[in-house]
Amino acid sequence: MARNNHVPKTFCTTREASELLGVSLRTAQLWAESGLLEAWKTGGGHRRITRQSIERLLANPAVRGLGTEEPQQRRADDPGRNVPPPPFNVLVVEDDPALRRLYEVKLRSWPMRPTLSSTGDGYEALIRMGNVKPDLLIADLNMPGMDGFRMLQAITSAPELSATSIVVVSGLDPEEIARRGGLPPGIPVLPKPVPFARLLAIAERVVLESKVPA
């Protein structure tokens, strides 16, 4: 009698990947489209994701412990619950640790008391963006791995992230930015050293436009 040798699957569907990672289906799609997950499409147009890339992402501390954002959103939208107003969330993407620390010190003194997170890696920024959609993203362009150019292209191509306001703070001049492909339309670019007063003005405008209580 022939033996039934079990061969482990080396790939998953996008839905299976989202369940394994504990994120929404659209978040898994975003991660696949941006290259965070290794994926290809079958002849019929169905996406397949390698198990190896899922396991590699699960080993990332930024992913461990993150569940889908949807149940929390349903609880917040439940009219029967007394839910406090949402915080003003800011994500800083900057590869210089000293500069990230300066952002933390300066931004925590802002009057709207933002909830701040930071990372020095474009890939990790996409992981966080997929789970906690910030009100304001402050991004550098020159970074190892996935640079700010690729990261911003991935973010602006995701409709569910369209509510996030984006500002770039970079030492690159406009000619160099244009030479490297430019940025998505509508993203302001501020020079380094970081002009914190101008950043605060942008944040205050975002607060007013989104009606987040200051």
Which domains, and CATH codes, for the chain? 11-58 (1.10.1660.10), 86-210 (3.40.50.2300)
Predicted pLDDT of residue 21: 80
Strand partners, 93: 119, 139
Average pLDDT across the chain, whole number: 81
Q: Residue 45 carries which side chain, given as an amino acid letter?
A: G
Secondary element (H or E) of residue 87: none
pLDDT in tens, 155-185: 888 887 888 999 999 999 999 999 999 999 9
Predicted pLDDT of residue 83: 54
- Give the pTM: 0.69
Cα 15 vs. chain centroid, distance in angstroms?
20
Residue bearing tokens 């898994």: 28
Rounded CA-CA distance 170/37 in Å is: 28
Rounded CA-CA distance 108/114 in Å is: 7
Q: Which residues of 118-141 are buried (b: 16+ CB within 10 A; e: fewer)?
A: bbbbbbbbbbbbbbebbbbbbbbb
Parallel/antiparallel/unpaired status of strands 89-93 and 115-119 = parallel
- State the pLDDT confidence band at 82, using cuts at 50, 70 and 90: low
